[in-house]
Amino acid sequence: MPGIRDVLGAEDSNAVGRLKEISRWIESLPISSLPFVDMGFDTLETSMINSINNHRINIKQNFNQINLAVRTHEFIPSKFLFVERFPLWSSMFPENTPDKFRVGDRVLNICSIKRAYVPFGARGTVVGKTEQKVVVLFDEQFL
């Protein structure tokens, strides 16, 4: 990174004052108040995310809740864990990576093993993604 002398030609108090003036000007620009976003971040427009969230709230207020009769635990016989699946030999729940999703995709949670617990079967919309994570706005709020 170039020093003050390389950019302004001097290192005296006038150069430092000029550098502070440039810094204040940059901070006063409208672009300086935008939120920080990781490189490679892909997202829906804020208005679209708000529209999806408003639709979720509308459904919650105007429609009855669906209570599915499901078991607390589901058991899978061990012989099915590594059954050949044509044309690949794979586990029952292969890992997904963020590059398999696009912003706007509808998703369903089928795995709840990490610290941030999201109920099995929760539905949502992909509203953003980075190289390592997918950002999902779920149809329901969870405590």
CA–centroid distance for 60 within its chain: 23
Residue 23's H or E segment, with its range, is helix 13-28
More confident residue, 22 or 3: 22
* Domains of the chain, residue spans: 1-34, 37-138
Q: What is the pLDDT of residue 38?
A: 60
In a 3-state reduction of DSSP, which class is residue 7? helix
Helices (H) and strands (E) in the chain, counts: 3, 4
Q: What is the pLDDT of residue 25?
A: 92
Q: Decide the pairing of beta strands 42-43 and 106-108.
A: unpaired
pLDDT of 86 above 50: no
pLDDT, one tens digit per residue, over 36-72 is 666 566 677 788 888 888 988 888 888 877 676 767 7
